[in-house]
Structure formats: structure tokens, C-alpha cells
Amino acid sequence: MSTTAGALLLTEPTDELRSMAEAVRSVLAAESPIERVAAVADGLDGLDAPLWRTLAQDLGVTGVLVPEAHGGLGLGWAEARVVLEALGSSLACVPFAPSCVVAVTLVLAAGDEGAAGDILPGIVDGSTVVAVALGDDSVLAPVSRSAVAAELGVDGAWVLTGDQPFVPYGTVADAILLLARTSDDEHGWFLVASDARGLSRSAMSVVDTTRPQALLRLESTPARLVGAVGRCDDLLAPVLDAAVAAAACEQLGASRHLLDLTVAYASTRFQFGQPIGSFQALQHRLADLAISIDTAASAVEYAVSAAPADPRQRAEAASISGVVCSETFYLAALETIQIHGGIGFTWEHQAHRYYRRALASRVALGSPAFHRERLLQSLAL
């Protein structure tokens, strides 16, 4: 695995990480089986509130990336990866990635101590869900530019006007962080409270119902500037890197689950008097999938180990994981449905929920083509 700058420190599994992973998996097995996921995903808001309380209050993992000064655990990406992989494996309907990873990364990167003191403690105790708007094509375009306009009033307060689509958990979030464009064509991250004047939120139709999305309409809506205004790309890059790396962790966890599920099925489904897993054609397909998942694991390892202080390496690692893990997850979802045969095509089987997550997640933060281009730019090619 190459690096473009600086040393890359790979994460060695420790007893603490193994214990943490087992604790999270145990909670998910008990509180978020696939039947529970289906009920929540097909419900009103797509948020498993009891599970969220357990993760925040009993396990305390919602503060894994938050510094101790703000009530968090003060840990790092090695621990966040453990939680993300477990949540991805189960398709748990909780906003851990957007609120506890992406929003935390944004607030810390902004260097706004006042905002950090006001926002992070609520994320840690689970009382505040903070959504981050990153799914708008105009923001992810080669020349990033927000469609939301920010205006500084005579009283010194900011107001936002415009539409912001594809906000994860936007209908249930207590606050939303979004990029907005100022009159001099610079950008800033702004925090909007869910009950702010002039804000309306509506649920969008989505492929993956385990990940609800919202359309925000802002009409002179009061907002708080987090950090300072500047170039859109500079403000967006560290946040997008964190979001893509978090998604890659979840995709890896889901891919591993699908491989285990399919191997178990192939070992017990008999045809012509023998398990279908004994057929060489299926053995080769499953072996190829296992190799792809090992490659995805290496990409995730690079993404979570890349030096936070090295923007070039961080962007390279994130985009590699964005390409490799999204394509691996999509392959795993396809193979799961096909190898399961007729049962895999039914709504009663869990395979279709993973397939829909694979479809949605491979474009939610930029397509593989987008990240290939971004990778070439980070390598200056």
C-alpha cells in the first residue's frame, strides 16, 4: 500500500478493539435484528430511537471521536471503524456516521471552540442528532458551489435562502450543517436549528429506506456560521474525506456479512443430492468475492490510518476506499441475490435491503467515477 506523503501507521487489532467490536455486535444482535431493521426502515422516520439511546447512554460510542474536553472518549478512527463496520453489517437505522463522525469532523476542523462547546456535548450524550448536507450534486461537482445563499444582515446575523436536497436523517435531526455561498462567492459551514424560522423539511423518496433523506427549504432562515468563510473546496475536503471513509467502513461490514450469509446458505442448500457450495462454479465466485473483500479491507485500513494533518494523503486514501468499497459491496449484494436463487429475489429475504443500500451508498457521496477523478487530482496526474 503506497503513500504519497508522510508515514502511514497501520492499525493493529488490540484486545480493547476486539472487546469494543464484540460489545457493539452483541447489542446489535439483540436490539437490531433484520426484522427490527425492516420495521424501522419502513416506518415513519427511519430512526431506531431505542437503539440510538443504547449506543449513546449504555455503550457511549457516540462520543468516540469527540475530545475529552467536550465530554467524549477522545479516541480515534480505529475505534470509529469498529462501530461503523458493525452498524454497516446490520444495516442499523441510526445516524452514527452523519452525526458522530461527519459532523464531529466538521466542527473540529472548523476550529470554532464556541461552536464545539455548544454542539459536541449533545452529540456525545445522544440528545442531539446533527445532520450534514453533502449529497447535493452542485457541492460534489468538479467546481463545487452551494446552491444555498448566505446573507449577512444589518444586525450581524446570517440568514440562508435556497433548497438543500439529500440531507441524511434531515427530518429527524435536531440541527443541520450545510454549506452556503456568500455574496462574494465564498462559502461557509452554517448550523441551522430544526425549529428555525423559515425552515421546512420534507422526506424524499429513496432507494434505501434504512437511510432516510430530506429536502430542506430555507427562506431567510437564521443560521450560525461555524468557523470562517473561505474557498468551498477547502471547507469541503476534510468533511467529504471523513464521510467517504465512514461509508467505506460501513460498506466493508455489510460486504462481510453478505459473504458469511451466502457461504452459510451454499453449505446448507442441497441440489442433486449435495450442497450447492460443493459446485466449483460457486466456489470460484465466492472465492473471488472473498478476495475483493480483503482488498476492500486494505482500502479501509489505508483510509482510517491516513495522516489527518496531510490533506493530500487523506484525500487519496478516502477516494481509494470510496471506489473499492462501494464496488465490492455492490458485487457482494449481486452475488448474494443470485446465489440464493429464488428466495434471494423475494421481499421477505434480507438480500434486497443490502442491495438497495449498495445502490444508494455507491452514489451518495460521489460515484466511483467521481472518486477516480478526485484520486487522480490528489496525485497531481
pLDDT tens digits, 171-183: 999 999 999 999 9
- CATH 2.40.110.10 region(s) of the chain? 132-231
Flag whether pLDDT at 137 surpasses 90.
Answer: no
Flag whether pLDDT at 4 surpasses 80.
Answer: no
CATH 1.20.140.10 fits 234-378, yes or no: yes
Helical packing angle, 351-364 and 34-41, nearest 10°: 60
- CATH 1.10.540.10 region(s) of the chain? 15-128
Phi and psi angles of residue 251, each rounded to the nearest 5 degrees, phi first = -65, -40
Q: Give the residue among 266, 267, 236, 275 at the shortest CA–CA distance from 336.
A: 266
In whole angstroms, what is the distance from residue 215 CA to residue 168 CA? 9
Identify the pLDDT of residue 347.
84
Identify the pLDDT of residue 277.
75
- CATH 1.20.140.10 region(s) of the chain? 234-378
**The most confident of 7-16, 66-75, 340-349, by mean pLDDT:** 66-75
In whole angstroms, what is the distance from residue 65 CA to residue 116 CA? 13
In whole angstroms, what is the distance from residue 97 CA to residue 212 CA? 13
Those residues whose C-beta lies under 8 Å from the C-beta of residue 138, and which sit 6 or more positions away, are 144, 145, 146, 147
The CATH topology of domain 15-128 is Butyryl-Coa Dehydrogenase, subunit A; domain 1 (1.10.540)
Q: Which CATH class is domain 132-231?
A: mainly beta
Phi and psi angles of residue 154, each rounded to the nearest 5 degrees, phi first = -65, -25
Flag whether pLDDT at 1 surpasses 50.
Answer: no
Burial of 338 (0-12, 13-18, 19+ CB in 10 A): middle
More confident residue, 270 or 45: 45
For residue 7, what pLDDT band results from cuts at 50, 70 and 90?
Answer: very low
Flag whether pLDDT at 143 surpasses 80.
Answer: no
pLDDT, tens digit, 9 for 90 and up, residues 69-108: 999 999 999 999 999 999 999 999 999 999 999 999 999 9
DSSP secondary structure letters along 221-280:
EEEEEEEEEE-HHHHHHHHHHHHHHHHHHHHHHHHHHHHHHHHHHHHH-EETTEEGGGSH
Give the cell for residue 269: 442448500
Residues of the chain with pLDDT > 70, as a percent, come to: 96
Identify the pLDDT of residue 11.
64
Flag whether pLDDT at 191 surpasses 60.
Answer: yes
pLDDT, tens digit, 9 for 90 and up, residues 9-31: 456 778 999 999 999 999 999 99
Look over the chain and give the mean of its residue pLDDT values, rounded to a whole number: 92
Residues of the chain with pLDDT > 90, as a percent, come to: 80
Phi and psi angles of residue 112, each rounded to the nearest 5 degrees, phi first = -100, 100
